[in-house]
Structure 1
Amino acid sequence: MNTPINPRIRIFDTTLRDGEQSPGCSMTPPQKLVMARALAELGVDVIETGFPASSQSDRDAIALIAAEVRAPTLAVLSRCLPGDIETSVKSLEAAAKPRLHVFLSTSPLHREHKLRMTKEQILESVHRHVSLARSYIDDVEFSAEDATRTELDFLTEVTQVAIAAGATTINLPDTVGFTTPEEIRNMFAHVIANAAGSDRAIFSAHCHNDLGLAVANSLAAIEGGARQVEGSINGIGERAGNCAIEEIVMALKVRNAFYNLDTGIETRRIVATSQLLQRLVGMPVQRNKAIVGANAFAHESGIHQHGMLRNRNTYEIMRPQDVGWPDTQMVLGRHSGRAAVEARLRALGYWLEEEELKLVFEQFKALCEQQRVVTDADLQSLMQDASGSDGYRLASMTISDVGSRANALVELSDPEGHRISETAQGDGPVDALFAALASATGVQLVLDSYHVHSVGIGADARGEANLSVRHDGEAYEGTGTSRDIIEASALAWLDVANRLLRQRDHHRKEAFATA
């Protein structure tokens, strides 16, 4: 087995190439530049910026990225064709660290039906085109497309020829997501052990997720000797997608004692990078998606919540802050216990005496019989019933167009029951709405992310708005639910603003009591 000088796993991100090929995920050149900046800040080693021979848009995006993004290696994909290679070389002229990534199919199925080439022709093409690529650029990666369905002896021979021709990275992809962990581990181990010159190359895994095994197969490839893993943010890509970068990175970090390998990824930027991609391509991840899904650090079971409140290691194997989430989320429902309700009320700015808590918890349990999840807004309504006041409440709102801008008029009821009206303009209805709410409450929030989705089905469906904001450098999450998504957005904004105001009032009372 080859032993690289640096045992750290290289992360090769193909969000902008293979990921963008996912239906509905195409990006404009400026959008690709924004994503490339985020990937560089995340700390990926290699960014595959596109496929220059495929379109002018790809060439424009590569030029933008190469002119600005300097730290990571910038790779471009090329078929084993002289024209492709020359186009790719030209596109990389401005890159500080260029890599030419050439590929050719090797499996019997592809040889016969796609390429109509013999083994000898494949070997000759690999030698000729890898040599041509290396004559232009020192960093050359060769991919044996459909490697996991290629005969092991022939795959070893292809690898040997590519290394002799100058390839510095050898990628053995599971192009159609067909293999299993044991098979791919053995494939890498066999090729590395038997291909002459394997100690002069870094071996790479590029696994697709057609059977849901992309991350497991990538980890197995590492066990077989791979020291580069290729994948995409949120696992986007052809068909069922690629190995999810966030999952492979955190698997290596959490199970470092087992693998004894790590990456150079700044893990605290994972969630922000994931959410940026979701906004750019308009493809949200499922709520139960590992690491970056909304439920990844959410707990509803009372047993789990009680354990979490005592020691978070009871039910979490990593800290949400380590990947960029603000904190664990205790989801309140019929399975939740009193400790979780009390903890959430305190997070919302309510500090209750024992008898008050007992009453509110009884009301909470009654509410759970009527709905599946009890939101922060629901708790605030319970508290208003108990105390007669609950910060600012939305009385009415009106959104209208003013030329190319939007105008929002909001009317709020303040904590003393007085009515306050404010108007504001913005670039869109939500922007104008948030500006009007800021004027009415005096609370300034910096919006980091915002999205809406449907909760429930049919006539019972409601819109839920979720936003992430910052106030005085601290991050906060807000949620609002309504049959109208603009109203849900206003409730989400007020969710955060009222929490901040209650916390401020509580701190003032504490300071007065100790003065």
Structure 2
Amino acid sequence: MTEKLWVFDTTLRDGEQVPGCQLDTREKIIVAQALEALGVDVLEAGFPVSSPGDFKSVQEISKAVSNPTICALSRAVEKDIEVAADSLRFAKKGRIHTGIGVSGYHIQHKLRSTPEAVLERAVKAVTFAKNLVDEVEFYAEDAGRADKDYLAKIIEAVIKAGAKVVNIPDTTGYCLPVQYGALIRFLKENVSNIDQAIIATHCHNDLGLATANTLSGVENGARQVEVTMNGIGERAGNTSLEEVVMAIKCHSEIPVHTDIVTKKIYETSRIISKLMNMPIQPNKAIVGKNAFAHSSGIHQDGVLKFRENYEIIDPKDVGVEESSIVLTARSGRAALKHHLNLLGFPVEGEKLNEIYERFLELADTKRDIGRKELLSLIGEQMDHSLLVEIQDISYQGAEGKEANAEVTLEMGDKVLTGSSKGNGPVDAVIKSIKQLIEHKVILDEFLIQAMTKGSDDVCKVHMRIMHEGKPYYGFASETDIVLASARAFVDALNKLPIKATN
């Protein structure tokens, strides 16, 4: 039987420290409720003494969620601890997370103190916090670069003072996995009262090792992992929740389990990415748009024959409907045949070979192959009533404010006009288009990239829409962001797999 691994999510504290990712209280509650549904055990809601807004957010999150323990950060300062305790007064289960720097760098150059004085402050902070809340966690900041004997001494002292969780952060992302794992093992073997507390990992990704370090810590005895969704956080980020959880799920030899509802990972990832305006890199493990996409012919053939040839995770396990077989110049006959079958045109043998040769010529010149292109390759004509074309767009308003938009679309011999309000002109235009189409689609990803410099920038918009659980991509480039967004949305719509007419 495996042991419980506690998942401590700090998306709303460490993650929100990323420049440009700040959320208001309403948005933080949305994130907190999503994380509660995901199944996190501890939710670090903020640093209450840092601002009135953070204090209010911790307080309101405490009211809005019931299952996770709500945690508030503080320094080893009485005022911080008092404010943290006050912010938690509505929490069903509250925890104060207090601590201090313990490395030589922090003691000498940040705190300008001595090891003895730092140890005394640590014990006083935990003792004080313990009188205000039931649960106290102590963080030994920069433990990854600390003297291990001194670290063991301070950890033993704070456990004696009442800390139920001791957090061993690799604050600067300095450690190698073997070093971090050995540090956790050293504490397990050299702190006499370590059995009275849970050891927590808290790793940063400065060297790209946060997940590896966290897993090494777990293998050596840590039973709480401190993580963020999408790995967001200070500098290069924190340990990614989804990476740790799925690594443990894939490797039964790691003797722990979590209570994370993995099928909600993708949904939660997208909520946080959207609210924090923090795009997810396409090749991000587990939640990137390419995590289950295959464009190489060898890989496509293997996946189509047996998914586990090239996928160690079933996409459905993280909330992705299915793998994507993307048609590019690297695609093989198996992928082309697969897409033609989806359109209702099974092709075999020499006929497939002939179409494939023409497909390669087209794929060398075109970024994305949709149903229109595939049908032309096999000599079929598309019912043009299924094609969506933009005839006219007008809008009023600015981003972040209510806007009005009117869109005229041409669909075959029909010309339709729709209008809508939205949160900014892009939202209003997309809603106007949705009014006019029959398909039920969800805008799943939306990325804008500048292609040139200056006030007349050309921007490229990448969109992914979901239709019946499957992804479709649209691209467009314009100097007008609103027009580019509309064209990218329509480009994706025109790739939905609707059969041609004979």
The correspondence of residues 83-102 of structure 1 with structure 2, limited to 5 A, is 83-102=79-98
> Aligned partners of 2:101, 2:2: CA distance in 1, in Å?
29
The correspondence of residues 50-129 of structure 1 with structure 2, limited to 5 A, is 50-129=46-125
Q: Is the 1:480–1:488 Cα contact (8 Å) retained in structure 2?
A: no
SS of 2:409 mapped into structure 1: strand
> Aligned partners of 1:89, 1:158: CA distance in 2, in Å?
23
Question: 2:407 matched to which residue of 1?
Answer: 409
Question: 1:395 matched to which residue of 2?
Answer: 389
Q: 1:366-398: CA deviations, max 9, x gaps?
A: 112224x33326635736963253552233332
Q: 1:185-215: CA deviations, max 9, x gaps?
A: 1111111111121111000000011111100
> Aligned partners of 2:368, 2:396: CA distance in 1, in Å?
38
Amino acid at match of 2:322: D
Q: Of residues 207, 210, 221 in structure 2, which corresponds to 1:211? A: 207
Compute the displacement of 1:115 (Å).
1.0
Question: 1:274 matched to which residue of 2?
Answer: 269
Q: Of residues 282, 285, 289 in structure 1, which corresponds to 2:284? A: 289
SS of 2:407 mapped into structure 1: strand
Compute the displacement of 1:309 (Å).
0.7
Compute the displacement of 1:85 (Å).
0.6
Q: Is the 2:463–2:488 Cα contact (8 Å) retained in structure 1?
A: no
Q: 1:384 to 1:441 in 2, by over 3 A?
A: farther
Amino acid at match of 1:339: A
Compute the displacement of 1:15 (Å).
0.6
Q: Is the 1:297–1:316 Cα contact (8 Å) retained in structure 2?
A: yes
**1:259 pairs with 2:257:** no
Compute the displacement of 1:464 (Å).
3.7
Q: Is the 2:464–2:492 Cα contact (8 Å) retained in structure 1?
A: no
The correspondence of residues 415-430 of structure 1 with structure 2, limited to 5 A, is 418-427=413-422, 428-430=424-426
Compute the displacement of 1:453 (Å).
3.2
Amino acid at match of 2:10: T
Which region of structure 1 is more displaced relative to structure 2, 281-290 or 429-438?
429-438
**1:499 pairs with 2:496:** yes
Compute the displacement of 1:499 (Å).
2.9
> Aligned partners of 2:379, 2:417: CA distance in 1, in Å?
27
Compute the displacement of 1:103 (Å).
0.8
Q: 1:26-53: CA deviations, max 9, x gaps?
A: 1111111111111111111111000011
Amino acid at match of 2:190: N
Compute the displacement of 1:335 (Å).
1.5
Question: 2:38 matched to which residue of 1?
Answer: 42
> Aligned partners of 1:384, 1:32: CA distance in 2, in Å?
51
Q: 1:332 to 1:422 in 2, by over 3 A?
A: same
Which region of structure 1 is more displaced relative to structure 2, 225-234 or 481-490?
481-490
SS of 2:4 mapped into structure 1: coil
Amino acid at match of 1:406: N
Which region of structure 1 is more displaced relative to structure 2, 455-464 or 304-313?
455-464
Compute the displacement of 1:136 (Å).
1.2
Q: Is the 1:308–1:314 Cα contact (8 Å) retained in structure 2?
A: yes
Q: 1:73-113: CA deviations, max 9, x gaps?
A: 10010111111110000000000110010011111111111
> Aligned partners of 2:223, 2:192: CA distance in 1, in Å?
18
Amino acid at match of 1:89: A
Question: 2:181 matched to which residue of 1?
Answer: 185
SS of 2:206 mapped into structure 1: coil
SS of 2:20 mapped into structure 1: coil
CA-based RMSD of the aligned residues comes to 2.7
SS of 1:406 mapped into structure 2: strand
> Aligned partners of 2:378, 2:333: CA distance in 1, in Å?
19
Q: Is the 2:371–2:496 Cα contact (8 Å) retained in structure 1?
A: no
Q: Is the 2:333–2:356 Cα contact (8 Å) retained in structure 1?
A: yes
Question: 2:223 matched to which residue of 1?
Answer: 227
**1:468 pairs with 2:465:** yes
> Aligned partners of 1:270, 1:329: CA distance in 2, in Å?
18
SS of 2:496 mapped into structure 1: helix
Q: 1:426 to 1:397 in 2, by over 3 A?
A: farther
Q: Is the 2:461–2:488 Cα contact (8 Å) retained in structure 1?
A: no
Amino acid at match of 2:470: Y
Q: 1:389 to 1:44 in 2, by over 3 A?
A: same
Q: 1:109 to 1:49 in 2, by over 3 A?
A: same
SS of 1:136 mapped into structure 2: coil
Q: 1:380 to 1:430 in 2, by over 3 A?
A: farther
> Aligned partners of 1:460, 1:298: CA distance in 2, in Å?
30
Amino acid at match of 2:191: A
Question: 2:324 matched to which residue of 1?
Answer: 329
SS of 2:43 mapped into structure 1: strand
Question: 1:512 matched to which residue of 2?
Answer: none
Q: 1:207 to 1:260 in 2, by over 3 A?
A: same
Q: Is the 1:380–1:390 Cα contact (8 Å) retained in structure 2?
A: no
Which region of structure 1 is more displaced relative to structure 2, 419-428 or 225-234?
419-428
**1:477 pairs with 2:460:** no
Q: Is the 1:80–1:103 Cα contact (8 Å) retained in structure 2?
A: yes
Compute the displacement of 1:138 (Å).
1.5
> Aligned partners of 1:460, 1:226: CA distance in 2, in Å?
50
> Aligned partners of 2:386, 2:485: CA distance in 1, in Å?
15
Compute the displacement of 1:247 (Å).
0.6
Question: 2:370 matched to which residue of 1?
Answer: 376
Higher helix proportion (structure 1 or 2): 1
**1:320 pairs with 2:315:** yes
**Percent of paired sites with the same residue:** 36
Compute the displacement of 1:330 (Å).
1.4
Compute the displacement of 1:325 (Å).
1.5
The correspondence of residues 107-186 of structure 1 with structure 2, limited to 5 A, is 107-186=103-182
Q: 1:273 to 1:476 in 2, by over 3 A?
A: same
> Aligned partners of 1:169, 1:399: CA distance in 2, in Å?
57
> Aligned partners of 1:243, 1:385: CA distance in 2, in Å?
51
> Aligned partners of 1:395, 1:245: CA distance in 2, in Å?
41
Q: 1:218-251: CA deviations, max 9, x gaps?
A: 0111111100010111111111111011111111
Q: Is the 2:59–2:90 Cα contact (8 Å) retained in structure 1?
A: yes
Count of aligned positions: 491
> Aligned partners of 1:153, 1:446: CA distance in 2, in Å?
58
Compute the displacement of 1:434 (Å).
4.0
> Aligned partners of 1:357, 1:455: CA distance in 2, in Å?
39
Q: 1:230-286: CA deviations, max 9, x gaps?
A: 01111111111110111111111111x221322111111111111111111111121
> Aligned partners of 1:213, 1:18: CA distance in 2, in Å?
17
Question: 2:299 matched to which residue of 1?
Answer: 304
* Residue segments in structure 1 that go unaligned for 5+ positions in a row: 510-515
Q: 1:384 to 1:302 in 2, by over 3 A?
A: closer
Question: 1:25 matched to which residue of 2?
Answer: 21
